[in-house]
Structure 1
Amino acid sequence: MATVLVADDFLENRDILCRMLQLIGYRTVSAANGEEAIQMALAHRPDIILMDLSMPVMDGWEATSRIKALDELRHVPVLAVTGHVTPHEIQRAIDAGCVDYVAKPIDFEMLVGKVTALLQNGRDGQVS
């Protein structure tokens, strides 16, 4: 069973995503900010990370950069789940290490499709 780390500062978003992912068979762990996302990724070694970009303490851009700088986590694909969808913001996410993004409000079918594809195609993923 694949493990998904859901990093989002809004409890409701984390809960909904985790419940929906659990219903289709994924194990989930969650984090409320970027710093916590790094700690949870190190502790749980997820197969994929869903990263909100705008969070307190440490934003998702910085957290992704730090995760990708760690040898033990650099292979884990990070999928940005965000309302920041201008070309500049998406490029910034890709530059930080995200392999792709899903815009908020979340189309859950699209999200699951991207998560499934990233898990099936290997952990390094490709930007679509």
Structure 2
Amino acid sequence: MAKILIVEDDQNNRDLIARLIQLMGHEPILANDGAQGVALARSMQPDLIIMDMGLPVLNGWQATHRIKSQPATSHIPVLALTAYALNEDRLRALSSGCDDFETKPIDITRFREKVSAMLARSNHRVDGDTI
């Protein structure tokens, strides 16, 4: 069972994503703003972070940059999940440190595939290095 941090300010979206994660057999950890997401990434060391980009306090780009800039959390994969659907938004998310990008509304099949693939890739890492 993987621990997955969901950083999402909209309660309905957060609850939906948490239910999907539970149905996949994983443990959701919930944060409702970017600052809380950074703090929980550090303290909980999740296996994956699902990051909304339009967040209060710290937006998703800022939160991801902070997570990826800290040695203790830089290895944690981040999936951007956002309503910002333009190619430039995808490029901005990837340049801030996100490892993949998915748009809202959620395509459940594609979302599950991306989460599974990201977890499989991260299970092949030891101290940030790929085996």
In the alignment, the residues of structure 2 paired with residue 80 and residue 14 of structure 1 have an alpha-carbon distance, to the nearest angstrom, of 14
In the alignment, the residues of structure 2 paired with residue 122 and residue 42 of structure 1 have an alpha-carbon distance, to the nearest angstrom, of 17
Segments of 5+ residues of structure 1 without an aligned counterpart are: none
User: 1:43: how far off?
Assistant: 1.6
User: 1:123: how far off?
Assistant: 6.1
1:79 equivalent in alignment to 2:117:
no
1:57-72 alignment, distance < 5 Å: 57-72=57-72
Partner of 2:40: 40
Partner of 2:10: 10
**Kept in 1: contact 2:47–2:122 (CA 8 A):** no
Partner of 1:120: 120
SS of the counterpart of 1:37?
A: helix
In the alignment, the residues of structure 1 paired with residue 114 and residue 85 of structure 2 have an alpha-carbon distance, to the nearest angstrom, of 17
In the alignment, the residues of structure 1 paired with residue 61 and residue 75 of structure 2 have an alpha-carbon distance, to the nearest angstrom, of 17
User: 1:122: how far off?
Assistant: 2.4
1:23-76 deviations in Å (ceiling 9; x for gaps): 220011011110010011112110000000001111000000000001011011
User: 1:124: how far off?
Assistant: 8.8
TM-score (norm 2): 0.91
Moved over 2 A (4+): 122-125
SS of the counterpart of 1:40?
A: helix
Segments of 5+ residues of structure 2 without an aligned counterpart are: 126-131
Task: Give the paired residue count.
Answer: 125
1:25-36 alignment, distance < 5 Å: 25-36=25-36
TM-score (norm 1): 0.93
